């Protein structure tokens, strides 16, 4: 699919296709955008990045008219999802301000400080000296982020989901927490797996669950990813699909729309891969790691043999995923770069019960 191409999910719902990352070609990855009309409310889920996506959002908004309220929901703060967030003010021109809203999780607010540089430097620092071209994390971050234009994540109307009262949401047989909008026409579910503030979006009228970047892979790469939350989000989505509570599943970086059978297959594969990936790491560990570059190569080869690709299967993300897996296993790093070693936590006598009672 070409960048900006629109897939009609139903007469009031479109997916605008993003694209894959190609660092050599200086091509940013772009997350898919969902545009949906519920009554007089136009809902945008993410705004992607690049002017091509901006034009596509505008065209979809025109096609889905009439609407008199607009709501932009950011699934998480990464630049491939938030670049065009100021389109909300363009589309909202002529509307009363009380009818134009943008929400993002408070947990992703730190990503916006200083144009995202500290957040991404923290993640890229983990691969410093392990991936060619990433010796200087700060310079690598600047190079990476420069690909994402425009980058306007916050506007003067942006608010956080966490300012709203948290709701108990029930979808089919599943219970979750989050926030609803438009008298229940949109449900935002907090999942917090792919990164600290990640949410997924349910559009009941379209029977659509947009998982954004939770299914990017069975092991999250970012420093603020939570592997257990990723697994839980995918497992809950699978249950929703298996119990016919949703009919359609979309993702941030799969440029297709999944029906129930294909979504079920994809989600169960991801859950199986999460377990298999753990087994692969365990099999390669002999107590600890003295040669991290060799471990990364071996682990990435095993993960590829398992069919794990991730949204962007390049050396940077593969190495970040390996480090994230080691941390999930509770291993502890010592040192920096290729010389760093990893070991299991020391379980010694001092951790047990005191030999005499402590007064
Ligand atoms: Fe993404």
Residue 130 resides in a domain: no
Q: What integer pLDDT is reported at residue 58 of this predicted model?
A: 98
User: Ligand 1 centroid to 192 CA: how many Å?
Assistant: 14
pLDDT band at 286 (very low <50, low <70, confident <90, very high): confident
Q: Clarify whether residues 175 and 285 are in a common domain.
A: no
> What are 11-62's pLDDT values in tens digits?
999 999 999 999 889 999 999 999 999 999 999 999 999 999 999 999 999 9
| Alpha carbon distance 105, 234 (integer Å) | 20
Q: Which residues of 141-164 are buried (b: 16+ CB within 10 A; e: fewer)?
A: beebbebbebbbbeeebbeebbee
Pairing relationship of beta strands 341-343 and 332-334 according to DSSP bridges: antiparallel
User: Ligand 1 centroid to 161 CA: how many Å?
Assistant: 19
**Furthest CA-CA distance within the chain:** 76
User: Ligand 1 centroid to 233 CA: how many Å?
Assistant: 16
- Percent pLDDT > 90 in the chain is 88
Any idea what the CATH number is for the domain that residue 249 is in? Answer: 3.60.15.10
Residue 246 resides in a domain: yes
Residue 180 resides in a domain: yes
| Alpha carbon distance 206, 309 (integer Å) | 29
Q: CB neighbours of 11 closer than 8 A, spacing ≥ 6? A: none
Q: What integer pLDDT is reported at residue 171 of this predicted model?
A: 97
Q: Clarify whether residues 103 and 13 are in a common domain.
A: yes
Q: Clarify whether residues 265 and 311 are in a common domain.
A: no
User: Ligand 1 centroid to 81 CA: how many Å?
Assistant: 6
**Is there a cis peptide before residue 215, judged by omega within 30 degrees of 0?**
no
Give the mean model confidence (pLDDT) for residues 335-352: 87
User: Ligand 1 centroid to 253 CA: how many Å?
Assistant: 6
Q: Is the pLDDT of residue 275 over 90?
A: yes
Q: How far is CA 27 from CA 14, 21, 136, 312, in A?
A: 24, 6, 21, 12
User: Ligand 1 centroid to 208 CA: how many Å?
Assistant: 19
> What are 299-327's pLDDT values in tens digits?
999 999 999 876 677 888 999 999 999 99
How many CA within 13 A on the CB side of residue 82?
A: 25
Q: What integer pLDDT is reported at residue 355 of this predicted model?
A: 67
| Alpha carbon distance 84, 181 (integer Å) | 21
User: Ligand 1 centroid to 75 CA: how many Å?
Assistant: 9
Q: What is the residue range of 206's domain?
A: 6-109+143-271
Q: What is the residue whose two structure tokens read 């992703």?
A: 108
Q: What integer pLDDT is reported at residue 346 of this predicted model?
A: 84
Tell which of 236, 271, 306 closes a domain. Answer: 271
Q: What integer pLDDT is reported at residue 137 of this predicted model?
A: 93
Residue 116 resides in a domain: no
Q: How far is CA 136 from CA 63, 121, 139, 148, in A?
A: 46, 9, 5, 20
Cβ distance 55 to 45 under 8 Å? no
Q: Clarify whether residues 184 and 318 are in a common domain.
A: no
User: Ligand 1 centroid to 78 CA: how many Å?
Assistant: 6
User: Ligand 1 centroid to 188 CA: how many Å?
Assistant: 17
| Alpha carbon distance 274, 254 (integer Å) | 18
Q: Clarify whether residues 302 and 243 are in a common domain.
A: no
Q: Clarify whether residues 48 and 105 are in a common domain.
A: yes
Q: What integer pLDDT is reported at residue 352 of this predicted model?
A: 75
Q: Clarify whether residues 222 and 290 are in a common domain.
A: no
Residue 192 resides in a domain: yes
Tell which of 227, 253, 271 closes a domain. Answer: 271
User: Ligand 1 centroid to 117 CA: how many Å?
Assistant: 17
User: Ligand 1 centroid to 285 CA: how many Å?
Assistant: 30
Neighbours of ion ligand 1 (CB under 5 A): 31, 80, 213, 252
**Residue 336 in tokens:** 């920096």
Q: Is the pLDDT of residue 341 over 90?
A: yes
Q: What integer pLDDT is reported at residue 9 of this predicted model?
A: 98
Q: Clarify whether residues 257 and 278 are in a common domain.
A: no
Q: What integer pLDDT is reported at residue 311 of this predicted model?
A: 65
User: Ligand 1 centroid to 311 CA: how many Å?
Assistant: 8
Q: Is the pLDDT of residue 73 over 70?
A: yes
User: Ligand 1 centroid to 82 CA: how many Å?
Assistant: 10
**Residue 111 in tokens:** 């990503």
User: Ligand 1 centroid to 306 CA: how many Å?
Assistant: 22
> What are 127-181's pLDDT values in tens digits?
999 999 899 999 999 999 999 999 999 999 999 999 999 999 999 999 999 999 9
User: Ligand 1 centroid to 113 CA: how many Å?
Assistant: 19
> From the CB of residue 275, how many other CB atoms can be counted at a distance below 10 Å?
11
Q: Clarify whether residues 241 and 321 are in a common domain.
A: no
Q: Clarify whether residues 212 and 297 are in a common domain.
A: no
Average pLDDT, the chain: 95
Tell which of 251, 271, 291 closes a domain. Answer: 271
Q: What integer pLDDT is reported at residue 358 of this predicted model?
A: 57
Q: How many Å is the Cα radius of gyration of the chain?
A: 21
Phi/psi for 298 (5° steps) reads: -65, -40
Residue 303 resides in a domain: yes
Structural domains counted in the chain: 2
Residue 126 resides in a domain: no
């Amino acid at each position: 699919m070409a960048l900006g191409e629109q897939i009609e999910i139903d007469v009031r719902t479109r997916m605008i296709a993003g694209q894959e990352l190609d660092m050599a070609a200086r091509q940013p990855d772009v997350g898919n955008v969902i545009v949906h009309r519920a009554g007089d409310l136009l809902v945008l889920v993410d705004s992607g990045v690049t002017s091509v996506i901006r034009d596509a959002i505008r065209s979809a908004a025109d096609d889905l008219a009439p609407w008199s309220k607009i709501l932009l929901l950011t699934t998480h703060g990464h630049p491939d999802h938030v670049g065009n967030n100021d389109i909300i003010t363009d589309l909202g021109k002529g509307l009363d301000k009380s009818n134009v809203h943008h929400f993002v999780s408070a947990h992703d607010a730190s990503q916006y400080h200083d144009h995202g540089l500290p957040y991404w430097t923290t993640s890229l620092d983990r691969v410093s000296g392990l991936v060619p071209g990433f010796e200087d994390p700060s310079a690598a971050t600047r190079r990476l982020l420069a690909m994402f234009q425009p980058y306007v994540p916050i506007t003067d109307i942006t608010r956080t989901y966490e300012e709203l009262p948290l709701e108990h949401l029930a979808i089919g047989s599943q219970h979750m927490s989050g926030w609803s909008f438009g008298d229940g026409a949109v449900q935002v579910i907090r999942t917090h797996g792919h990164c600290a503030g990640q949410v997924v979006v349910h559009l009941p009228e379209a029977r659509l669950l947009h998982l954004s970047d939770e299914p990017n892979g069975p092991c999250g790469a970012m420093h603020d990813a939570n592997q257990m939350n990723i697994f839980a989000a995918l497992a809950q989505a699978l249950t929703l699909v298996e119990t016919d509570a949703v009919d359609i599943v979309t993702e941030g970086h799969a440029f297709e729309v999944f029906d129930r059978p294909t979504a079920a297959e994809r989600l169960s594969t991801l859950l199986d891969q999460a377990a298999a990936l753990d087994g692969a790491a365990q099999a390669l560990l002999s107590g600890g790691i003295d040669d991290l570059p060799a471990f990364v190569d071996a682990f990435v080869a095993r993960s590829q043999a398992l069919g794990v690709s991730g949204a962007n299967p390049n050396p940077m993300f593969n190495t970040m995923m390996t480090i994230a897996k080691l941390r999930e296993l509770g291993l502890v790093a010592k040192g920096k770069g290729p010389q760093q070693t990893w070991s299991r936590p020391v379980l010694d006598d001092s951790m047990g019960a005191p030999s005499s009672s402590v007064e």
